[in-house]
Chains A and B, each alone.
Chain A
Amino acid sequence: MRAAGDWVGRHLILMIGMLVLLYMLTPVFVVVLMSFNQPAGRNTYTFDGFTLDNWTNLCEPYQLCSSVRLSLEIGLLATLLATLLGTLMAFAMVRHRFRGRAAANVFIFLPMATPEIVMGSSLLALFVNAGLAGKLGFWTIFVAHVMFCLSFVVVTVKARLAGMDPRLEQAAADLYANEWQTFWRVSFPLVFPGILAAALLSFSLSFDDFIITNLNAGQQVTFPMFVWGANTKGIPMQINVIGTLMFAIALIVVVVGEFGSRRRDRTRV
C-alpha cells in the first residue's frame, strides 16, 4: 500500500510537472514551426506550407532588421552597465556592513515590484518635464533599460555571493594576498557564473521589453515594438525566425556555460 502510494506520489507529481512544462514550451515550438511557414495570404497566421524563404529573406519586411539591430545595441550596452553597477552593489550588500542596509534592500527590491506601466509612465513624465519630449530615442531607452535590469542583476549576483564561503577570502588574506589580489584571484572567479547568469537575464529582459520602451522610445522602433506594430498590419513570418535564432543562441550560451563550469569543477577540485 505504502509502496503504491510512493509510486503515485513520485510519478504523478513528475507527470503534472511535465505537462506544465509542455504548456510553457508549446509557444516556442509554434514559433520554430512558423519560421518555416509559407502563409497563403498576408493576414493569415496559419501553417500553409513549408518554406525556407523566411530564413533566406530575413530582412525583407521593412524595418525588421533595423529594429533587431537597435534592440541588440541597447541590450548589449544596457547589460554591460547594469551588470557592472549591479555587481558592485551586490558585493556591498553581502560583504560589507553599513548603516541603512535594510533600506538599501527595499530600495533595490522596489523596481522589481513596480508594474512596468508605472515605471514607464514615471520616466516619460520625468523626460517630458525635463524638456526632452522631442529627444526621446536611443539614450532614453538605454537609461530605462539599465534602471530596470539593475535590480535583477543585484539579486542574482547576491544569491551567488551569499552561497560562497567567506573563509576562502579570509584564507587568501591569511596567505598575504592584498585586497586586489584576493578579489581577482578568489572572489571574482567564484562569483563569475552568477555575474554571467545576471548578464544573460539582463540582456533577455532588455531585448524583450515592450511596455517601458514603447512609452520612452520616441520615433525609434525596437524589435518588440516592430512585432506590436506588425500585429495590426499583418504579421511577417520572419519575426519567428528572429525568435528561433534568439532561442538557439541563448540555449547554446547556457549549455556551454554549464558544461564549461562543470569541467572546471572536475579539474580544480
Chain B
Amino acid sequence: MAHILPTETQDAGPPAVDQQRRGPAGYLLLMPGSFWLALFFIVPTVTLVATSLYDPAGSLELGYKMTGHVQNYPTAIADYWEQIWRSLRYALVATVACIALGYPLAYAIAFKAGRFKTILLVAVIAPFFTSFLVRTLAWQYLLGDNEWFVSFLRWLPFTGADLRLINTPFSVVAGITYNFLPFFVLPLYASLEKIDHRLLEAASDLYASPVKGFLKVTLPLSMPGVVAGTLLTFIPAAGDYINAELLGSPNTRMVGNEIQDLFYAGDYPTASALSVALMVTIVVLVAVYVWRAGTDELV
C-alpha cells in the first residue's frame, strides 16, 4: 500500500471520531505551521487592504500617509475594468476547456488504464518538473507564425492564409488551459478513484445503459472532484499574467500584468486596491459557485 501515487482504492475509511485523541497535543502540532500562515498570509492580506487605503500622493521613498483614501478603488476599477473583465473571461474559458479535456483523461486513467495507471499518472505530473516558464516558451515556439502547426492550419481549405495563433487571445487561453490542466485532473482523478465499482455494476444490473450509468452514478459521485478541480483552475488562472505576457499581445493584457506594473512603477496604493478588488471578485464568484454546486466537503 505504500505508494507515492494514489494507485489503489483506500478501503480503510477515515478514522472514527472516538479514535482521535483529545487534549492540547493537537494544538501544539498545529501551532508552528499556523503561526507561519498567520504571519505571512493573514497579516500580509490585512496590510494589503491597509495599503490600498493610503494616500496615493505619497511614494515609496517619502512614505505614504494613511488617509482612508477609499477613492483608490473607483479609480483603479475605472482604469482597469477592461483587464479585470478580460481576466475573468479568459479564466472561465480555460476552466471550461480544462473540464472538456481533463474529464476524459481522468476518467480514462481511473477506469480504463488497467495496469498502466501508474505510468499515466506519472505522465500527468511529469510536466510539473520541467520549469513552467520554459514550457510556456516552448508553446511560443510551437504556435509561432512559421512553424508547422500554423502552416498546416493555413493549408486547410477553410482557414485564411494569414491565420495567426501567437499573440492572440487563443494562444493565451490555450496556454492557461495547458498550465492548469494537471490541477484539474488530479483532484478529479482522486474523486473518480474512490467510486465503488459495485455501484456501477448495480446500475447495469438494473438495466441502466453505460451512458445512463455514467450520468446517474459516476458523474454525481465525481462532483466534489470537479468542484475542487475547477477552483484550483479558475482562481490561479484569473490572477495569471505569464501566459498573457509570453503568448499574448498588448491587447490580451490581464489584471495581473497591470498589478505587477503598478508595483514596479511604485504606485502601491492603486496596485493594492486593484489586487484587493480582484480578490473580492474571485471570493464572491467562488462563494456563489460552491453554494450552487452544493458541495462543502472540499477540504
- Physical interaction between A and B: yes
Interfacial residues, chain A to chain B (CB-CB below 8 A): 5-6, 9-10, 13-14, 16-18, 20-21, 23-28, 30-31, 34, 45-46, 85-86, 88-89, 91-98, 104-119, 121-126, 128-129, 133, 143-144, 146-147, 150-151, 154-155, 159, 162-166, 170, 190, 192-194, 196-197, 200-201, 204, 207-208, 210-211, 214-215, 223-224, 227-228, 231, 235, 239-240, 242-244, 246-247, 249-251, 254-255, 257-258, 261-262, 264-265
From the candidates A10, A46, A123, name the one contacting B44 in the complex (CB within 8 A): A123
Return the contact of B272 from the options A34, A105, A125, A227 (Cβ within 8 A): A125
Tell me the complex Cα distance, A30–B148, Å.
13
Given contacts A46-B141, A46-B147, A223-B131, contact A257 B4 (CB under 8 A): yes
Cβ-based interface call for B130 (8 A): yes
Across the two chains, which residue of chain B brings its CB closest to A230?
B137
Convert B124-146 into 0s and 1s, putting 1 for each residue whose CB lies closer than 8 angstroms to a CB of A: 11111111111111111110101
Contact residues in B for A93 (Cβ distance below 8 Å) = 30
Known: A18-B108, A105-B299, A124-B263. A150 touches B246 (CB 8 A): no
Cα A27 to Cα B175 with chains together (Å):
11
Contacts of A208 in B (CB 8 A): 128, 131-133
The interface-forming segment of B20-28, B67-75, B150-158 is B20-28
A259 → chain B, closest Cβ, in Å? Answer: 10
B3 interface neighbour in A91, A106, A262, Cβ under 8 Å: A262
Please list the residues of chain B having a beta carbon within 8 angstroms of any beta carbon in chain A. 1-6, 10, 12, 14-15, 17, 19-23, 25-30, 32-34, 36-37, 40-41, 43-45, 47-48, 50-51, 60, 101-102, 104-105, 107-109, 111-113, 118, 120, 122-142, 144, 146-147, 178, 181-182, 190, 210, 231-232, 235-236, 238-242, 245-246, 255-256, 259-260, 263, 268, 271-272, 275-276, 278-279, 282, 286, 298-299
Question: A104 and B36: CB pair below 8 A?
Answer: no
Closest beta carbon of chain A to B153's beta carbon, Å: 16
18 contacts between A and B (CB under 8 A): A21-B124, A24-B182, A27-B135, A92-B29, A94-B14, A95-B21, A96-B22, A97-B20, A117-B241, A117-B259, A125-B268, A126-B44, A166-B19, A204-B129, A208-B132, A239-B134, A243-B130, A254-B125
- Counted as pairs of residues, one from A and one from B, with CB atoms less than 8 Å apart, the total is 315
Given A9-B210, A24-B127; A92-B26 close (CB under 8 Å):
yes
Q: Which residues on the B side are within 8 Å of A21 (C-beta)?
A: 105, 120, 123-124
- Return B233 CB to nearest CB of chain A, in Å: 11
How many Å lie between the Cα of A111 and that of B260 in the bound state?
Answer: 19
- In the complex, the answer to whether A244 meets B130 with C-beta atoms within 8 Å is yes
Complex CA–CA separation, A147 to B131 (angstroms): 20
Contact present for A125 and B44 (CB under 8 Å): yes
Q: Are B40 and A258 in contact (CB under 8 A)?
A: no
- Chain A contacts for B271, CB-based, 8 A: 121
- Chain A residue at minimal CB-CB distance from B246: A231
Taking CB atoms, residues of chain B closer than 8 Å to A128 are 51, 60, 268
Whole-angstrom distance between the alpha carbons of A251 and B125 in the complex? 10
Interface centre among A31, A143, A155, A170 (most CB of B within 10 A): A31
Measured between beta carbons, the chain A residues less than 8 angstroms from B104 are 13, 16-17, 20
* Contact call B178/A24, Cβ cutoff below 8 A: yes
Cβ contact within 8 Å between A88 and B47: no
Which residues from chain A contact B14 at a C-beta distance below 8 Å?
Answer: 94, 162
A105: chain B residues at CB < 8 Å are 299
Whole-angstrom distance between the alpha carbons of A94 and B12 in the complex? 14
Find out whether the CB atom of B272 lies under 8 angstroms from the CB atom of A121. yes
Q: Do B21 and A147 have beta carbons less than 8 Å apart?
A: no
* Complex: A75 Cα to B189 Cα, angstroms: 28
The answer, among A116, A143, A210, A242, for a CB contact under 8 Å with B40, is A143
